[in-house]
Chains A and B, each alone.
Chain A
Amino acid sequence: MEKKEVSFNNFEQCIKCTVCTAYCPVVPVNPRFPGPKQAGPDEERLRLKNKMFFDENLKYCLNCKRCEVSCPSGVNIADLIQSARRRYSAATPTLRDTILANTDIMGHLARPFAPIVNSMVAAKPVKAVMDAVLDIDKNRTFPKYKAHGFVGWFNREARSKQAAYSKKVAFFHGCSTEFQHPEVGKAFVEVMNAVGYGVELMNEECCGVAMIANGLWKQASRHAKHNVAVFEKMVGEGLPIVATASTCTFTMRDEYPHVLDVDNSKVRDSITLVEKFLFDLIDAGKVILVFKKDYAARIAYHIPCHMEKLGWSIFTKRLMQMIPGVAFTVLDSGCCGIAGTYGFKKENYKNSQEIGRPVFEQIRALAPDFVCSECDTCKWQIEMSTGYKVLNPIVILAEALDLPATTAANRQ
């Protein structure tokens, strides 16, 4: 069928129902932000008239994509906003933005001095200096860098064992698994091996989401092109690209073509999250999970915004509910407010906490053993703001599985 009414990011399909603005977490806390409908499809018409109509207040968009999830007309509202920033913003990234955006470079720089860096960024005088000089809010708790990364562990402990598996996946670990939470990567390898899949790493670059958020467009596009090329090679060899971070997954699938104009059509459908990957296998009867008899936990599930956009939280819910002994509560859908690097910035800190308040309050009221979430920045925000521990579902799964029994069950 011939495609009718084609427009950039579908903006002309907007019928001005304004449900996106009702769902936007920024609108109620920041009057300077015009709201997704106005910032997206409405102002796009003025920007097409003349780029001088671009509004720098679009930087207040979290890019949480809740507007897109709510849109009944299929308009890529947040993509329109990010593309407008890319095409028209006159603002150049500050030193602070560059530091926050380069999650990978900062990780490499910080790692050799991890104990010093961690205690420094936690020290009040240093926080005060960062607040004053860099506009990084002093109330923010920094995630801890680990002295030993995931890739180093994999090379030492796991790589040699992977050749034994005939079925394989390519693992996109992302920056935070490498630098802050190697346990996520370790859990991934354990679970995949137990269900009969070998793991291969790739020469990956940071997905670029923080660069998109901070206006480092060229660098983000460079990373996107690099990753797409690497993925194409892997997919060509028959390996799916599996990740544990919802935001990296979403960025590589959707932001590459929509915001950065990088064509990922050959690999997009092969980029998946481990929860979906596992569920599909279990659903098809190809994989069996065997759980520990004595595992018990009360878990509250916070669905990250980009998980909502992917529409894949159902897979995590189903997987978690398979675990006997788990009391599983899904929190009301809402943004935690951090949005990657957004909440680190002094000008956004207050709004960031205000946006996340309903999520924090619900967690405190539930008082679970811990919170489950696929996104590491949500983890940082919720742990800092509520004191509750947040675990990636794959870590919970690795803990709950009877790994030897699972390995045996999947060997037949």
Chain B
Amino acid sequence: MKQEFDVIIIGGGITGAGTARDCSLRGLKVLLIERNDIATGATGRNHGLLHSGARYAVTDKESASECIKENMILKKIARHCVDDTSGFFITLPEDDLGYQATFVKACTDAGIKAEIIDPQEARRLEPSVNPSIIGAVRVPDGSVDPFRLCASNVYDAKLHGANLLTYSEVTGFIMDQDTVRGVKVLNHRTGELGEYHAPVVINACGIWGHHIAEMAGAKIGMYPAKGALLIFAHRVNGIVLNRCRKPANADILVPGDTVCVIGTTSTKVPYEECDHLQVTPDEVNLLLSEGAKLSPVLAQTRILRAYAGVRPLVSADNDPTGRNISRGIVCLDHETRDGIKGLVTITGGKLMTYRLMAEQATDMACKKLGLDVPCATATTPLPGSEEGGIEKIFKNMWTMPTTAQKATVGRAGANVSSIPLSDEYEGSVVCECEEVPVSEIDSAIKNMDVHNLVDLRRRTRMGMGTCQGELCGCRAACILAKDRDVVAVRNDLKQFMNERWKGMYPVAWGGTLRECAYTQWVYSEVLGLNES
């Protein structure tokens, strides 16, 4: 790989991926560096809520109006990643119904369409909603698949010439007095050290951006706020459910792909914990008891797993929970701020506003490079996004499509044309819960920077279903092992299964525990994975 670039972006989350896409669409030579896989930090550890902005309308108007603008853009440029479900803000008897008027006015002021609907009508439209609701407001919330969105941005960036280095950690900056000239990188897969040069380096590392900035001698006052979430085994609700009150714990239930997600909590954690988050029993209890207020059936629904992420908040005041910190975008020019030339940090913000964050960071990079190229990401669809949605795509392809064929279209969107699905082997299903066929796995391995089974899961949803890899883990490992070292893939399979178990452990009871016991039997007793 050539070592000279126009811009180096550190961080393969949605912000870094979006920035890499924006930069490469504007004609810059881009290197995107990620120390793990793409979408491993906060990008892959959130609700997957396509915010309308309504949640922040009352407390954070700027974020709210950013959200609704980006919401409308994503519904056009990322159709295959977005599910336009709409959302309700419900008022329970214990809540103040008076807040509803304040809420609707604030939404309207921020440009968010908020419509008060009769509780009876709300119950009809969303049968899972708490039947005791006394008020409901409909807003244009939805859900978005953050893995797919991130991978699509990376894929498009690469189509426009960007280079990607995953499993590569920045160990330091190449400095020329007060100017950043590039980065030193340790490739964890090969153990090699490399140096890459560019006149501009963008730090898009979320909460880890704190350390990156420190390496260059700058300080960002970040506020690591952990949020825990639970994934339920199927979609309990079809419409996003929020509480119509000031943002609090466990008050959003999002239907995402085949599951639904309740969250979140918010607690400050030390930086050292950001790489080793555990969901505590208290958090699980809180999520379940509050979640059941949105939708009582949650109390009896099988839980697939628990997980937690860290919000990259930038502290403004001494808020113990982080709930009051703005979700607004923070784009720092370290030259004017700290006297360090060639370094930009893009942080704060949300998954929802990643594109706008990328635009601001790219604008700043272009300015430093002396270029004046307009941003095109608000109007250029991501590869796979197509008007008419997935139904139109599969109806054009097959007369009587199987669910697996439809599911593949649902994930790949218009990109499905590059995935062969017609012959019996290609179309046979690897992951039965999420209906992922052999060819989709093959295609991801070949084209989407997959180095192990966990990467493969992030690209395809394989292993994300009810059985959490019980059936598909070993099958996918066989496909992965075709062109790779079998022993390495076998170890990889162990890691994959352990990573699945990590998320199941905090909620291992009932059906989930039975599933774990069966999986354990299959992998250690039948397949002998425990033997060395």
Contacts and interface: CB of A to CB of B under 8 A. Distances in A.
A52 to B, nearest CB: 5
B518 A15 contact: yes
A55 interface: yes
B69 interface: no
A38 B391 contact: no
Interface stretch (B185-193, B375-383, B427-435, B449-457): B427-435
B514 to A, nearest CB: 5
Interface stretch (A42-50, A172-180, A249-257): A42-50
B332 interface: no
Interface in B316-364: none
Interface residues of B, number: 37
A189 to B, nearest CB: 48
Contact of A44 (B83, B234, B297, B404): B234
Contacts of B297: 6
B233 to A, nearest CB: 5
B301 interface: yes
Nearest to A54: B403
Nearest to B389: A52
B66 interface: no
Contacts of A6: 297, 300-301
A11 B465 CA distance: 13
Contact of B258 (A31, A49, A52): A49
Best-buried of A3, A17, A52 by chain B (most CB within 10 Å)? A52
A144 interface: no
A289 to B, nearest CB: 45
A16 interface: yes
A56 interface: yes
Interface stretch (B169-177, B466-474, B486-494): B466-474
B302 interface: yes
Interface in A1-15: 3-7, 11-15
A31 B515 CA distance: 28
A176 to B, nearest CB: 33
B424 A12 contact: no
B257 A16 contact: no
Most A C-beta atoms less than 10 A away, residue of B403, B407, B433, B510 = B403
Contact of B511 (A12, A17, A42, A49): A12
Contacts of A34: 402-404
Contacts of A12: 233-234, 301-302, 466, 511
A378 to B, nearest CB: 30
Nearest to A35: B432
Contacts of B510: 4-5
Given A4-B510, A52-B406, A42 B300 contact: no
Nearest to B515: A15
A57 B399 CA distance: 12
Nearest to A58: B403
B75 interface: no
B123 interface: no
A16 B403 contact: no
Interface in A212-227: none
Contacts of A304: none
Contacts of B301: 5-7, 12
Interface string B8-23: 0000000000000000
B475 interface: no
B1 interface: no
Interface residues of A, number: 32
B483 to A, nearest CB: 28
B184 interface: no
Contact of B432 (A16, A44, A55, A56): A16
Interface in B481-532: 510-511, 514-515, 518
A408 B403 CA distance: 63
B45 interface: no
A57 to B, nearest CB: 6
Interface string B154-174: 000000000000000000000
A295 interface: no
A302 interface: no
A37 interface: yes
B302 A7 contact: yes
A41 interface: yes
A27 B432 CA distance: 15
B471 A57 contact: no
A205 to B, nearest CB: 31
Interface in B389-419: 390-391, 400-404, 406-407, 410
A5 B429 contact: no
A52 B302 contact: no
Contacts of B432: 16, 37-38, 42
Contacts of B246: none
B471 A5 contact: no
A113 interface: no
A44 B258 CA distance: 9
Contacts of B402: 34, 55, 57
Contacts of A17: 518
A31 B391 CA distance: 24
B235 interface: yes
A45 B400 contact: no
Given A49-B235, A53-B403, A16 B300 contact: no
A44 B300 CA distance: 18
A15 B433 contact: no
Contacts of B435: 38, 42-43, 46
A15 B514 contact: yes
A364 B403 CA distance: 40
Residue of A34, A42, A52, A56 most packed against chain B (CB within 10 A): A42
A31 B424 contact: yes
B429 to A, nearest CB: 7
Contact of A55 (B235, B300, B391, B403): B403
Given A12-B301, A45-B235, A53-B403, 4 more contacts: A42-B465, A42-B466, A45-B259, A46-B258
The 6 nearest A-B residue pairs measured at CB: A16-B467, A45-B258, A12-B302, A55-B403, A6-B300, A48-B235
Interface of A: 3-7, 11-18, 31, 34, 37-38, 41-46, 48-49, 52-57, 73
17 contacts: A5-B511, A7-B302, A12-B302, A12-B466, A16-B432, A16-B466, A17-B518, A41-B466, A42-B432, A42-B433, A45-B258, A45-B465, A46-B258, A46-B403, A53-B406, A55-B406, A73-B514
